[in-house]
Structure 1
Amino acid sequence: MNLPISDQTVVISGAARGLGAAIARAFAREGARVAINYHRSEQAANALAKEIGPAAAAFPADISNADAVMEMFDRIEATLGSPSTFIHNALADFVFNGDQRKQLADLSWSDLNAQTAVAVGGALNGIQAMQPHFAKHNGGRVITIGTNLFQNPVVPYHDYTAAKAALMALTRTAAKELGPAGVTVNMVAGGLLRTTDASAATPEFVFDLIAEQTPLGHVTTPAELADAVLFFASPWARAVTGQTLVVDGGLVCD
């Protein structure tokens, strides 16, 4: 599948706020039809759909619930057309403030499981729901959202980082299996973003410290990361799969 973005129907999980909303706006700007998935943020999702216009619509579903995801994809197809691209951005409840996160001595499996159910389970559910659409389009695109904390684990986000690492592994194994069907599967890994609802809890001095250590001299914005997601969905990335692109202004190297 080498559809231009303007001919695509794109499903974005967790798209009502923050990075997901920035990704939705980026695709809308390029002419795509945008399905805004949300779990609890109904008001924000509907407001974003209204802002974008008739090429967008909001669709509720818990991305970790396989049946709900399948039903959502049916509604998306009926409303916006057969999806060609799935972007898995949804995040389980999380606050990016190292002082508020559990250390290993207090961490439980339920903490890791809560993150993994959304990060990995949500990706699996979305990929499975995309299967008939891959066949219709003779291919497709899957883009997952990761983190640069694999390379730079400077804060005790053990549950979040472990779940995203598992998601990176699934991204790569899915790329291997789905490649013969013309499907590319890639990850865009961000660092701390300035600013989303989740990162709003980050102390200001942390943003300043990261900016000082980053070659570009500033903390990456949601809009900047969203533009990298566009690349993986575009025909320009047709020969790229199983890759993780770190978008953090050069702070770390993959």
Structure 2
Amino acid sequence: MSSPEAAQAIPLDRQVVLVTGGARGLGSHLARAFLREGARVVINHRSSAEAARELAETHPDTALAVRADVRDRDQVTAMVEEAESRFGAPVTTVVNNALVDFSFNGDARPHADTLTWQDLDRQFSGTVQGALNTVQATLPGMRRAGGGRIVNVGTNLFQHPVVPYHDYTAAKAALLSLTRTLAHDLGPDGITVNMISGGLLRTTDASSATPEEVFDLIASGTPLRRVTTPAEFADTALFFASPWARSVTGQNLVVDGGLVMD
């Protein structure tokens, strides 16, 4: 078995990376970032088969499109097994990005008097249960490899709830807690667990319903005077997966142009 130190030093171009929700929106930028660096990438999708296939075809030797609902443990396990069979190596980096049935539409969001447990449960199942499933499915392979990387996608709405998306923000807050407890639990295995928290990104499928004036307002409040792009956000995931971050775990890095300074 490899030592944790050796596993944590795996270059990006030798990694097998699973990106959940990797076919569209932010997920496609995350997948492309790792593919650009030579990693072998599993492009997970639930209902975007054509987009996943088209992205995988751009890198036929290093990309694999796999349909799996991250809320279903059996489907996730099958996906991880298919990836190892295809690439001849276990998944050692997981990017938990999948966002189930959500749009950043402030006009259509549940308000305090209309929010239901079903709204919350929908986001908790996609965000927290989905991440738990991918982590547990990939743990055996990471342990065989001597370590691994888990990168969770969060939000800066914890610190700056400019729009009170109750269900989305609560689920992401729970994922931040899970990030930190998993970091503590899995550290002895050489597995790091971190979170990247962006603000509204200009533009993804999920933020396509956001009015331009909202983007402009957010941009005016940042030191950079612009809204972070999905590609800029995705590049940060490369750091957490790279050997340079081998001693970083349990952290939440806010990537929003300085709107929130934590």
Which residue of 246, 249, 254 corresponds with 2:257? 249
Does structure 1 residue 30 correspond to structure 2 residue 49? Answer: no
Name 2:231's counterpart in structure 1: 223
How do residues 104-119 of structure 1 correspond to structure 2 at under 5 angstroms? Answer: 104-119=112-127
Does structure 1 residue 135 correspond to structure 2 residue 151? Answer: no
How do residues 1-150 of structure 1 correspond to structure 2 at under 5 angstroms? Answer: 1=7, 2-80=9-87, 81-150=89-158
Secondary structure at the aligned position of 1:105 is classed as coil
Name 2:196's counterpart in structure 1: 188
Runs (5+) with no aligned partner, structure 2:
1-6
C-alpha separation in 1, matches of 2:139 and 2:192: 13
The amino acid across from 1:107 in the alignment is L
Runs of 4+ in 1 over 3 A off after TM superposition: none
Q: CA RMSD in A?
A: 0.7
C-alpha separation in 2, matches of 1:52 and 1:194: 25
C-alpha separation in 1, matches of 2:244 and 2:62: 23
TM-score by length of 2: 0.96
CA contact (8 A) 1:25 1:52 kept: no
Which residue of 146, 157, 160 corresponds with 2:165? 157
How many residue pairs end up in the alignment?
A: 254
Which residue of 210, 217, 224 corresponds with 2:218? 210
C-alpha separation in 2, matches of 1:118 and 1:40: 14
Identify, as 1 or 2, the structure richer in helix: 1
The CA deviation string for residues 13-39 of structure 1, in whole angstroms up to 9 with x for no partner, is 000001110011100111100000000
Name 2:4's counterpart in structure 1: none
